[in-house]
Amino acid sequence: MEKHYRHEVKHAITLADLFAIRQRMSAITTPDPHAIDGKYLIRSLYFDNMDDKALREKIDGVNAREKFRIRYYNLNPTIIHLEKKSKLNGLGTKYKASLTKEEAQKIVDGDIGWMIDSPQPLIKELYCKMYYQGMRPVTIVDYTREPFIYGPGNVRVTLDYNIRTGLNSVDFLNPDCITVPAGDAPIILEVKWDAYLPEIIKDAVQIPETRAQAFSKYSQCRIYG
């Protein structure tokens, strides 16, 4: 799989900032075709090993790290993806593989033998890490996302909020699974781009007295265990 790394910058912002950014982005960007009324609910199931390797590497700021998750949108399990997110020198890349609802449930249940015969390399990779490294599902992460797209630079601006955790539950295909607010989680403005960030976007996302910072929804949702 060819690696395609992108720049990623995050800012913790206020509700007033969100309103301002939303207004600016609506004037200059293209709506995301997958959004409903400008937003969608993201539900992810994150994986880690018995030593919490992914969590510790994030907290420690390890330069080269990765994490696995299964994700779907608007509580609609007709399209589910296994994803591996990798970071290196502050740049990010993501790999995807499609899962059926039945396959996703098997992974949650620990029924993983079928994965080694999958034609999708990422599913085989997760199998190896579950079998040999003890990786397993650890927590559900829910949040609302407002996405904005700008063609030049392949820019994607997102506003993420209402971050919730499933505590220790991994029943993420259950739409009635109980989730709770993940502590005092901020609103997150995230900007992603390829080779360059156009000035019009750079100006539009400027917020006084804020600076780029590392933030992990997964880490935030592990505050209860």
Per residue in 79-129, pLDDT (tens digit) is 999 999 998 887 889 999 999 999 999 999 999 999 999 999 999 999 999
Query: What gap in Å lies between CA 35 and CA 146, rounded to an integer?
Result: 8
pLDDT confidence of residue 179: 92
pLDDT reported for residue 225: 55
- Amino acid (1-letter code) at residue 151: G
Residue with tokens 């207004």: 23
- The list of the chain residues with pLDDT below 70 reads 1-3, 210-212, 224-225
Domain parsing of the chain, residue ranges: 6-221
Structure tokens at 62: 């390890």
pLDDT at 60: 82
Task: Supply the pLDDT for residue 2.
Answer: 53
Three-state SS annotation for the chain: CCCCCEEEEEEEECHHHHHHHHHHHHHHCEECCCCECCEEEEEEEEEECCCCHHHHHHHHCCCEEEEEEEEEECCEEEEEEEEEEEEECCEEEEEEEEECHHHHHHHHHCCCHHHHHCCCHHHHHHHHHHHHHCCEEEEEEEEEEEEEEECCCCEEEEEEEEEEECCCCCCCCCCCCCCEECCCCCEEEEEEECCCCCHHHHHHCCCCCCCCCCCCHHHHHCCCC
State the pairing for strand pair 91-99/136-150: unpaired
Question: Which amino acid type is present at position 152?
Answer: P
Fold assignment, 6-221:
mRNA Triphosphatase Cet1; Chain A (3.20.100)
**pTM to 2 decimals?**
0.92
Name the nearest CA neighbour of 131 among 22, 10, 47, 209: 47
